[in-house]
A and B are shown apart, each in its own frame.
Chain A
Amino acid sequence: MMKTATATFVAALCCAAARGDQWCVAPAAIADAGTVTRTVIVPPTADVRTIVGARVRVAATHPWVGDLAFRVRHPSGVEVVLVDRPGIPSVGFPGPWGCGGDNIDCWFDDAAVAAAETTCSVTAVPVLAGSLRPTGVLASLKGLAPQGVWTLIVSDSVAGDAGQLTAACIEITTAPDCNVNGIDDAVDIAAGTSADADEDGVPDECGCVADLDGDGAVTGADLAVLLGAWGSCAACGADLTGDGQVLGDDLAVLLSSWGACGAS
């Protein structure tokens, strides 16, 4: 039970880091015709941000993936079926026993095009690979807190073939927290903890408030907007200091932000 640290994840992290933190369970044997559960604790912190996205990576060796079902359970009890005996029910191929391919090494991702449930091949190993759409919807975890005990449930429904869960991680993307106060930016704005003068959903302390025309840079065009609003101005965007007037202090804020937003 540890935050992403296993060597097997180095490659994945290079692309996934921007998405969120990964939490992995320990490897386990997949007992023949049995069920194995593995848990990982996302520790409680002062951070109360909520989940906005999740992907799950599963790597397992098994000679008949059609025997297997994987579910991930949120600490609140909400469960998402990742895949449930791929190839069953069959429409002819791969046959009544589901997909007989070997091994899994894939990400379950709502955004994937191919459905894990119907992906199968007699030649590809691992047979479930790349990015696959889960049977359930990982988006159902949205709005929930990431902290707590997560559970991966692996079941093997048919006697005769056993396997090994070699890796499984959940990658959790939480809501943005640009001011790093441990609270969703949206919550900050809604609660009035942060202002959002330009109404872009980003607390002003993080944003580029002087970008009055919203083009991503503070330029002469913004200066022209500010000068156009010079003087008394109740709740107008050019009142960068929020004092009800557009004056020299507002001009000073604008000039101090001159250039591309975020460039400093």
Chain B
Amino acid sequence: MRSWSRLILVIASACALGAPELCAADAPRMAVKRLFAPAADVEQGIVRLPTPEATPTRSQAAVFTGAFERATERSRVARFAFAHGGGPLRLIPLGPEACRWRGRVVVGAETIPLAGSDALVSRVSERYASQAVLGIEDATRTYELDVPAGPCVVEFWSDLPEGAGAALVVAEVGGGDDAPALVASLATRVNRAGAPLEFVVRGESPATGGLAPAVSAPVDVIGAAVTWSDGAVEQSSVVRSLKDGSARVIFAGARAGEAIVRIDAFVADARGVPRQRSLFYLTRIADGAVFAGAARVHRDPSVAHWIRCDIEVASAATDETVFACAELWAIEGARQRAVGWIGGLAEVAVERGGAFVRLGFDGGQVDLVKGERLVLRNARLHERDGFAPLDVRAEIVPELEVALAGGGRAALDPSAWGGEPGLASVAVPAVSSFLPPVGAHVLVLSHGYCADSNPWPLAQFAGDAWPYENLETNLSNDAFAVDIASRAAQFKSYGIVGHSQGGCAALHLYTFYWSGLDWAGPGRLMQCVGSPLEGTPLAGNLAALGSALGIQCGSNFDITPDGAAAWLAGIPTAARARLHTYTTTFTNVPFFYDYCNIVTDIFLSDPEDGVVEHAAGHIVGAQDMGLKTGWCHVSGMRDPAQTGDSARNAVLNAQGAR
């Protein structure tokens, strides 16, 4: 129960108890960490940006968005047209009150009524399905029916106001593993404002038997459009079909910010029948600093043995904060070896007339032998929010002004002098709930992206658990992490149990900032359940559908496969190792259901929890705590919400560090 008088008392107590930084006038500041990873992280690709082809977006369905138009004085109609190759279809209308819409399918001269009709209803199989994942409380109905090949028009009537959003997902029944997929990936990792934005589009058809790897299938792109962050919609200026059956889709002059690209295409199935597909690709156009080409490695005059690496950049804003990183290589003639990796959030600084970002490392960790020179490789700059790559340089040769001969000396403790202070001034803690006392050591229970409540049942946790709440908000991993640290600044130390994106935020906080996580006692520091650590293919669809239906919290690049890949490439093994990951999937009930959500099932590969695929809920280097059946991502899906699993919660509670 919330009480304003108690709230005031708690804040006042925090000030009085000797934490003046918790008072309004002096918001606590966060220091960033200077990251160093050993050569093994470089050699194993842990901190290397994967190629764009490694994180494609797939679609085995066609998705249409539209709006209800006036049909009669009292009724409105939404129409969706597509080409059907023949066979059983699954139609899923999405939108407010969708279960009350009446619909029909018109194929050639034949009209097949859907719900609400008395005729031919036996041809249509209906099921109710939750739209909770879209943030729509009421369910929808899904329809399965056999439809002859040809142009199809699906119509829905409702009494919703004109302009009310509606969407339709069309997929072949029983498609799943056998359905051809439209696959798109970015042509380049770095996509900057003003430059062309290019996609590689291809088809993928399952090999016979379903077990062999998919084979490429011819793709015929019929349309591509992008919605830029400012709302402007632009058709693709170039769609080029290549000899190998793939295609290139290019948008000239990308605009900064998150963009949603829609690609429509026909993909041939195993029998050569073209199947209409569409996908929404959420990406982020970066705009910020780029490398200037030079770097300087020199001794830090204030900390013994600490080495500074100043990498010159060109930036329009001197207060710009970026994530910067580079591999350290020792080169002698033809011989070369990785000696480490450095990274961290850094503010662009100006000194001696030049702009640069400053990284650092312990001189004892890098040992060059006689004749070897130091080279920075795969140097990267990323935006702070979203981690969209700003620039990648294959090699920068720094001016080396210090001898690097660590000689096996024990590594310094970087926390002994903290980080670079003041990059993130956290807000005054909003003491939204106050179960444990101010100054306690607690277990933070975090919700995920755009949650409307904290999903963790407090009764299943000890009294020192504290529910973080910033509801119905769309935050980047960085902003999410800083927000957790801000609100949890009322506590001395904490471990985090994070649901969904809350787990990503926990890992981000621990990796890039000094916080109460660093002071937690023994136990599992970060435990995440159903976290899209490697992103979710739903991100683009949810953003597009949410936008079309006027719901949801907006797009979030961090939870796309591309965004997650860019983000993870900045997280070394040492940080990953403190993360315990738990995933869940649905119960397979033959003849009833084999999904968590029939809508999202179309876009996800099994096993999945309705939002996050099992494979994306774990990352190399983290502690994989396994996949549990019978639990879905959120409530409203076929199985209970994974955060309600009392057996697991007992473990999270008992094992969680405070």
Contact = CB atoms under 8 A, between A and B. Distances in A.
Given A88-B18, A90-B28, A158-B439, A95 B413 contact: no
Nearest to B33: A93
B564 interface: no
A97 interface: yes
A120 B418 contact: yes
Contact of A92 (B17, B421, B440): B421
Interface in A86-114: 88-97, 100
Nearest to A87: B418
Contacts of A100: 492-493, 518-519
B640 interface: no
Given A95-B514, A159-B439, A89 B20 contact: yes
A92 B439 contact: no
A125 to B, nearest CB: 11
A92 B485 CA distance: 12
A92 B419 contact: yes
B416 A96 contact: no
A114 to B, nearest CB: 9
A260 B224 CA distance: 99
A160 interface: yes
A121 interface: yes
**Majority secondary structure, B binding face:** mixed
B492 A157 contact: no
Contacts of A121: 413, 415-416
B514 A96 contact: no
A96 B488 CA distance: 11
B19 interface: yes
A63 to B, nearest CB: 8
Interface in B475-516: 489, 492-493, 514-516
Counting chain B CB atoms within 10 Å of each CB, the highest count among A64, A90, A120 belongs to A90
Given A91-B418, A158-B19, A160-B439, A96 B28 contact: yes
Counting chain B CB atoms within 10 Å of each CB, the highest count among A64, A96, A121, A158 belongs to A96
B415 A64 contact: no
B441 interface: yes
Contact of A93 (B18, B22, B419, B439): B419
Contacts of B492: 64, 95, 97, 100, 158, 160-161
Nearest to A91: B421
B422 interface: yes
Nearest to A97: B492
Interface in A122-174: 122-124, 157-161
A107 B419 CA distance: 26
Interface in B387-436: 413, 415-416, 418-423
B27 to A, nearest CB: 9
A121 B518 CA distance: 10
A240 B534 CA distance: 91
A85 interface: yes
Contacts of B17: 157-159
Counting chain B CB atoms within 10 Å of each CB, the highest count among A95, A124, A160 belongs to A95
Contacts of A94: 415, 418, 514, 518-519
B19 A97 contact: yes
Contacts, number: 94
A122 B28 contact: no
Contacts of B423: 92
A96 B415 CA distance: 15
B1 to A, nearest CB: 23
Contacts of B18: 67, 85, 88, 157-158
A122 to B, nearest CB: 4
B37 interface: no
Given A64-B492, A157-B17, A93 B421 contact: yes
B510 to A, nearest CB: 11
Contacts of A160: 437, 439-441, 492
Nearest to A159: B439
B382 interface: no
B353 to A, nearest CB: 27
B431 to A, nearest CB: 13
A111 B251 CA distance: 67
Nearest to B17: A158
A123 B415 contact: yes
Interface in B32-51: 32
Given A91-B31, A95-B514, A122 B519 contact: yes
Contacts of A64: 492, 519
A159 B437 CA distance: 9
A96 B441 CA distance: 14
A71 B577 CA distance: 41
A92 B30 contact: yes
A95 B416 contact: no
A147 to B, nearest CB: 35
A92 B441 contact: no
Contact of B416 (A85, A120, A159, A161): A120
A122 B421 contact: no
Interface of B: 17-22, 26, 28-32, 413, 415-416, 418-423, 437, 439-441, 489, 492-493, 514-516, 518-519, 521
15 contacts: A91-B29, A91-B418, A92-B423, A94-B415, A94-B418, A94-B514, A94-B518, A95-B489, A96-B21, A121-B415, A121-B416, A122-B514, A158-B17, A158-B439, A160-B492
Given A96-B19, A121-B413, 10 more contacts: A91-B31, A92-B420, A92-B514, A93-B31, A93-B514, A95-B489, A96-B21, A97-B516, A123-B413, A124-B413
Top 10 nearest A-B pairs by Cβ distance? A93-B418, A92-B31, A92-B421, A100-B519, A96-B21, A93-B31, A91-B421, A122-B415, A157-B18, A96-B28
